[in-house]
Chains A and B, each alone.
Chain A
Amino acid sequence: AQTVTQSQPEMSVQEAETVTLSCTYDTSENNYYLFWYKQPPSRQMILVIRQEAYKQQNATENRFSVNFQKAAKSFSLKISDSQLGDTAMYFCASARGNKLVFGAGTILRVKS
């Protein structure tokens, strides 16, 4: 079965600093997509960033970037210049066909 592992249940970071959330996954597919979703206290699931496995270049979206290591099956999320609004649960997910498999999530708290 496809699995996604987030080894950090909780993280905290000072406002304006940088934090990295870890994610490893297991897949037998050659081409696939990886995602990071943000879930703030409102409970809404928000797509933060996505990565296509066949692309070597790491995806970036403003202050969010990933470190995608295909051979190691690692997909970490880096948040630069952390803001109070980044406080949320973050889920890593991998696509198996048209279904997503999610990690257990990492709670990120940004402190002022």
Chain B
Amino acid sequence: NAGVTQTPKFRILKIGQSMTLQCTQDMNHNYMYWYRQDPGMGLKLIYYSVGAGITDKGEVPNGYNVSRSTTEDFPLRLELAAPSQTSVYFCATWTGGGYGYTFGSGTRLTVV
């Protein structure tokens, strides 16, 4: 039982490049989320999804896009990477029963 799997774990991008952060879960959870973690800022919600085909913006969506074609997958797309997108990115699912989130292991992204 893998839980929430994020790939890659680390990535260095050049300014203007694009990439997709992958997130896959095997728990059949409907709710999925993308957060970014910046030093001293906690975790900020980028996008979330309540089920396949349904996505919505969070607190800091600019510069990102998402899709949710299946229950299992929730990829995060960065177009035209900027240094301000240097961060650690977490994917998570809603565990239910008041137990909060199940997190992936995170992706450390550096834009140079």
Across the interface, do A93 and B100 meet the contact criterion of CB distance under 8 Å? Answer: yes
Across the interface, do A45 and B103 meet the contact criterion of CB distance under 8 Å? Answer: yes
* Minimum C-beta distance from B48 to chain A (A): 7
| Chain B 20-66 interface residues, beta-carbon cutoff 8 Å to A | 31, 33, 35, 40-45, 48, 50, 58
Across the interface, do A91 and B106 meet the contact criterion of CB distance under 8 Å? Answer: no
Contact (A98, B42) CB under 8 Å given A44-B105, A45-B103: no
8 Å CB contact of B100 from A6, A9, A33, A44: A33
Determine the chain A residues whose CB is within 8 A of the CB of B31 once the complex forms: 98
Determine the chain B residues whose CB is within 8 A of the CB of A37 once the complex forms: 100
Count of chain A residues with a beta carbon within 8 Å of a chain B beta carbon: 22
State the CA gap A4–B59 with chains docked (Å). 14
Determine the chain B residues whose CB is within 8 A of the CB of A102 once the complex forms: 35, 42-44
Give the residue among A44, A45, A95, A103 with the most B Cβ atoms within 10 A.
Answer: A45
| Chain B 76-95 interface residues, beta-carbon cutoff 8 Å to A | 88, 90, 92, 94
Give the residue among B35, B92, B94, B98 with the most A Cβ atoms within 10 A.
Answer: B98
Count of chain B residues with a beta carbon within 8 Å of a chain A beta carbon: 24
Across the interface, do B99 and A43 meet the contact criterion of CB distance under 8 Å? Answer: no
- Per-residue B-contact encoding for A33-67, CB less than 8 Å = 1, 0 else: 10101000001110100101000000000000000
Determine the chain A residues whose CB is within 8 A of the CB of B33 once the complex forms: 99
Across the interface, do B105 and A50 meet the contact criterion of CB distance under 8 Å? Answer: no
8 Å CB contact of A103 from B42, B50, B58, B98: B42
Contact (A50, B42) CB under 8 Å given A43-B105, A99-B48: no
Q: List 16 A-B contacts (CB under 8 A).
A: A4-B42, A9-B40, A35-B100, A44-B105, A45-B90, A45-B103, A47-B100, A47-B101, A50-B98, A52-B98, A95-B100, A98-B94, A99-B48, A100-B101, A104-B42, A105-B42
